[in-house]
Amino acid sequence: MTRPSKTRRAQRLEAFEAVVHHYEAALLRYAARVLNDPDGAQDVVQDSFIRLLHRWKGEMAPDGRMTNWLYRVAHNCAVDHVRKIARRSLLHRRAAAEQDQIVAPDRGAEFAVSDQAARAAVALQTLDLRERQLVILKVYEEKSYKEISAITGLSTGNVGYILHHAMRKLARALEGEASS
């Protein structure tokens, strides 16, 4: 069996790019609706196209068969994504439960955590993972919006928006604790 020539590979990649251009927006809309998560939808669609490139044996051209195949693959990738998130969430909850059972060693007065710091740590856990990540980068790591953007891949505007809402959630959580 002979290997395909470079020109044939180049033609297949060019055809693949045309297929991506043809289906990308529709698959992103579909996956975003299924997941209710635009970032997860991008991952799902990317995985779908990777599978198309590696597994599709037919001609690399949009047609009814390819449409059905891509939507089925996108659906399966979305289901896998939801399961992965659920497993990760379960592991995080278990780890958090184990952390609650661990008693920190007494290191003396110089290592004592203030009541305010302890309340802030508890309030921080009320945030979702992305919000918590951004707050930690901004407050604890003292990163700029631009640095946070480079670390997370989010736009600086999105970083600001998420941080604004996360800080409001933190304030409400701390107010709720103070009144109890």
Domain with CATH 1.10.1740 in the chain: 6-88
Least confident of 25-39, 40-54, 112-126, 162-176: 112-126
Pick the CATH number of 6-88 from 3.10.50, 1.10.1740, 1.10.3470, 1.10.510: 1.10.1740
**Residue 56: how many other CB atoms lie within 10 Å:** 18
pLDDT tens-digit profile of 4-31?
557 888 898 999 999 999 999 999 998 8
Q: Report the chain's mean pLDDT, rounded to a whole number.
A: 84
| Residue bearing tokens 């709720």 | 176
CATH code for the domain defined by 112-179: 1.10.10.10
pLDDT score of 53 more than 60: yes
In which residue ranges of the chain is CATH 1.10.10.10 found?
Answer: 112-179
